[in-house]
Chains A and B, each alone.
Chain A
Amino acid sequence: MSPRAAWRLESLGFAEVYDYGPSRADWMAWGLPREGSSANTPTIGEVARRDVATCALTDTVGDARDRARAAGSDVCAVVTCGRVVLGLLRGKQLESDPEAMVEQVMRPGPTTYHLDSRAREAAERMGDRGVSALLVTSPDGVLVGVLHREDAERAADGVAEP
Chain B
Amino acid sequence: MPKTIDRDEVRRLLEDGAQLVDVLPREEYEEEHIAGAINVPLKELDAETTASLRKDAPVIVYCYDLQ
Contact = CB atoms under 8 A, between A and B. Distances in A.
Interface of A: 1-10, 12-28, 30, 32-39, 139-140
B6 A10 contact: no
B42 A23 contact: no
Contacts of A36: 29-33
B42 A4 contact: yes
A84 B62 CA distance: 25
A116 to B, nearest CB: 9
Interface of B: 1-7, 9-11, 13, 18, 21-24, 29-37, 42, 45-47, 50, 53, 55-67
Main secondary structure, interface of A, reads mixed
Contact of A38 (B4, B32, B63): B32
A34 B61 contact: no
A15 B55 contact: yes
26 contacts: A1-B64, A1-B67, A2-B23, A5-B21, A5-B42, A5-B63, A12-B46, A12-B50, A14-B55, A17-B58, A18-B9, A18-B18, A18-B59, A18-B61, A20-B6, A21-B6, A22-B66, A23-B67, A25-B65, A26-B7, A27-B62, A32-B11, A32-B35, A33-B34, A35-B33, A35-B35
B35 A6 contact: no
B23 A33 contact: no
Contacts of B66: 21-23, 25-26, 139-140
Contact of A24 (B11, B32, B36, B59): B32
B46 A32 contact: no
Nearest to A10: B2
Contacts of B22: 24
Contacts of B57: 16
A22 B46 contact: no
A20 B61 CA distance: 6
